[in-house]
Every structure is written in structure tokens, then in C-alpha cells.
Amino acid sequence: MMKQLQELEKQLLLDDEDVENDVSGVTNSEWSEMMSPPVILTKAENILSPSPTSSSSSSCASTSASPAAPVNITQLLTEAAGAVTDGKQDIASEILTRVSQYSNARGTPEQRLCFYITTALKTRMSVNEPKTTSDLYAKDHILSTQLLYDKSPCFKLGFIAANNAILEAGKKVHVLDFDIGDGVQYVYLLNEIAAAREARGDDIQTPFTLKLTTMADFGNGGVERLKLVGEGLKELANKLGVTFSYNVLNLKLSEIDTTSLAVENDEVLVVNFAFKLFRLPDESVTTENLRDEVLRRVKGLSPALVTVVEQELNGNTASFETRVSQACGYYLALLESLDATIGRDHSDRVKIDEGLSRKIMNSVACEGRERVERCEVFGKWRVRMSMAGFKPKAMSQLGDKVSSVTRGNPGFTVKEEGGGINLGWMGRTLTVASAWH
């Protein structure tokens, strides 16, 4: 079934799973990786032979310094993933032992990535290591995720792009968000509403009003936590003078309709999916296929607008080797971009990196229902949205908001491509925001 699903994806997207991004999404370092001579597993003993500096590796490991990178980290980690897939545990272990000499959880972005991927691969190989999803729903991980969204321009600009579309939808907007997290996107939105009102000098008789509805079944922490988030948003709205109402519904997906949502005749219904869909299981996990079912149910609500923001990473049904290779390229670029915005030793950065390590662990070490980190590239989301009956809708450019968020750092890139706004670092797309109707 997995092979058939992968073949179907190729036919739908006309892409090859070994090249998930086009040329514009490939960094210079990845070009060098792609053009370097291939490593032959049958000659692993040559790759894994001690380097001239290996005699001092143990002493290096005990300090902040680490030995030079052996050959090509991404290539070796991908080879290790291939050995795991082929059941060649001894070869995989040898590769990981060599690569581990270079890893450092507090080192450079490449050293950190090496540590996270190596740890995840070792966990996958171990029959004694528990492989559960509990860490992804713990309070610490929720906090680290919110910090990532707030500190990383690529994630923050994704929220801002979605908010721009919501602001343009109408003057009286009802937003359905299946999981608002800690409400960080709506903190941005309430501030943007207040700023837009001052800039336009809106008539006080026709103010922008925002109603937000979220679902208890899809969030983390249950109804009480969601109510606390809502109280915080209400307090902020009152301070900013924004007309705002909030509601938490405890309904099953099949029970959701415009009546249960209490959508008023003069309200514009908007459905927001910002970094939410990738956690829903699809046909590769269960015949229920909640990922596509949610989209079809939302289409049945006839919303005026649907916003989607997702990470640009092929981590769902791709082969294990491709998944590891993709994770290497993606998270290396993300870690490098974080270096440009927040110091490596800053307490928030430490928490963010710990959260990224958990995401990588789940994506690499887990399978089946235990693997909830199932990101997809925009091309695949575009197919899913089209199959559900949606059509793309143009989004407003971010304009001056880009420089205000990136602090003018030219390493961050923003471009409109394929119907979405691509946000990335040094040419590598990390997140994509899109709008649909």
C-alpha cells in the first residue's frame, strides 16, 4: 500500500521523491551535496575508517570543540537511514558511531542537527527505547513550539500572511480554528486590527469585529486550557479596543455545521489552518483519513476563505531515506536562520532547540500512529485542497512587515510562487502560506 501511495503522489505531482524541491528551494550547501560523488555502502569500511584526527576525538567530545565533519554529514546520515531500512544494523551503527564524534547539542547548527538526527536514528534502531508521542503534547513542548512561532520570522510571517487575508475578508469575521494552541496568531491579529483601525481612521460606527470559535477535540489540554487562552485574548482585545468574542465547542467533526457554529447571516466565515493539518493522520495511517475528511467537512461549511500555513517538508509518505535527507536539509536551514535572530545560549533558544529535537525524534524514530509529525510539501497540500473542492485565492504581499520581522536580515527570503507565499532562509523554503475559497 505504501508503494502504491508513493507512486500515486508522483503521478499527481509529477515530481520525483528524490528531488522534492525545485531549484529555487535548494541551498548552496545542498547543491554541493547533490553534486558530490556518491558513497557506496558496500565500501563502508573506507568511509568509516578513522580520520587522522580521530585519536583526539574523545578529548574533543568532552569540550565545546568537536572534530571536523566526516565527509558529508547529510549524506552519511542518509546512508545510515538506508542501512536501517535494509536491516543492516551493524553498518548503520558504524556510520552513526563515526558521525557522533562530530555531533554537539550546543554546537554549530550542523553539529546540533547531527546530534538530533543521530539520536533519533539510534532510538529507532533500539528495541528497548520507548517510542511514544507523549512528549509532543507535554507543557514544555507546547511552550517551545510557541517560542518557535514567535521568534522565527519564517513562522511568524506565515501567521501574519494568514492574518492579512483574514483582515481583508470583511468587517465582521467569524474565524473557525480547530486548534488555536496558545493563541499566538490571534495576539498578532488583534494587534493588527487595532493598528489597521488607527491607520485607516475607521468609522467607530462600523468597527471590525472578530468572533473566534475553536474545537476542544482537536486542541491540546482540553476545554479548561482553551478557556484560559480565550480569557487572555479577551483581556488583550479590551485593552486594544477591539470587538471580540470567543467560544469553545465540544463537538465531533460530524456535528460541525453553520448552525452548531452559530454563524450569523452578516458574518463572513473564515477557517484557519496554521500549522495544524500536518498532525492529522491521512490514508497512509488509517482508512478514516482525518486529514482529507476535515477538508471535505470544511468545504461543506461554504466558508468565504480558508487559510493554510504549513512547513515545506516532505515527511509524510516519502521513503525513510528521503524523509531523513529532507529532515537534514530542512532543519539545518531552520537552525541557521535561528542563529540570525536569537543567540544560541539564550534561554528561549535552548527551549526552541529542545522542541525541534522532539519533532525530529518523532519524525525519524516513530512510525504508524505514533508518528504525528507528518509534514507535506505545498504541492501535496495543493492537491488535497483541490480534491476537497477548493480553489486558490491570491494573498496580499507582506510589504514592510517583512523587514520589521526579519530586522532587515537579507538571509530571509519571501516570494510568491505556485499560489502561495514562500518564506525561507537563504533560498530554502521553510514555510508556505496560502488562501483558498
Q: Domain holding 187: CATH number?
A: 3.40.50.150
User: Per the structure block, which three cell numbers stand in for 254?
Assistant: 460530524
Q: Are 385 and 327 in contact (CB under 8 A)?
A: no
Per the domain annotation, does 195 fall within a domain? yes
Pairing relationship of beta strands 392-393 and 172-177 according to DSSP bridges:
unpaired
C-beta separation of 311 from 275 below 8 A: yes
- What whole-number distance in Å separates Cα of residue 345 and Cα of residue 353? 10
DSSP 275-318: S-GGGS--TTT-TT-HHHHHHHHHHHT--SEEEEEEE----SSS
Q: Do 180 and 143 form a contact (C-beta atoms < 8 A)?
A: no
Q: What phi, psi does 211 have (nearest 5°)? A: -115, 130
**Residue 408: predicted pLDDT:** 83
Look at the chain and report how many structural domains it folds into: 1
Q: Are strands 412-417 and 420-425 parallel, antiparallel or unpaired?
A: antiparallel
**How far is it, in rounded angstroms, from Cα 237 to Cα 140?**
27
| Identity of the residue numbered 207 | P
**In-domain check, residue 92:** no
Cβ-based neighbours of 50, under 8 Å, separated by 6 or more: none
pTM: 0.83
Residue-level pLDDT at 128: 77
In a domain, 174, yes or no: yes
Quick one: cell of 54?
580521530
Domain of residue 211 covers 140-312+375-436
At which residue does the C-alpha cell 447571516 appear? 265
Answer yes or no: are the C-beta atoms of 82 and 297 closer than 8 Å. Answer: no
Quick one: pLDDT at residue 133?
84
Rounded Cα distance between 121 and 123, Å, is 5
**Size (the chain), residues:** 437
The verdict on residue 99 lying in a domain is: no
- Asked if residue 222 belongs to a domain, the reply is yes
Cα-based distances in Å from 302 to 22, 306, 307, 352, 388: 33, 10, 14, 37, 12
* Collapsed DSSP state (helix, strand, coil) of residue 214: strand
* Residue 155, domain member (yes or no): yes
Structural domain contains residue 103: no
Distance CA 274, CA 349 (A): 22
Mean pLDDT by runs of 10 across the 437 residues of the chain is 61 47 40 37 37 35 50 90 96 95 94 96 87 85 94 97 96 95 94 86 72 84 87 97 95 92 96 96 93 96 98 96 96 97 95 97 94 96 97 91 90 93 96 98
Q: Is residue 282 part of a domain?
A: yes
Predicted local distance difference test score (pLDDT) of residue 199: 74
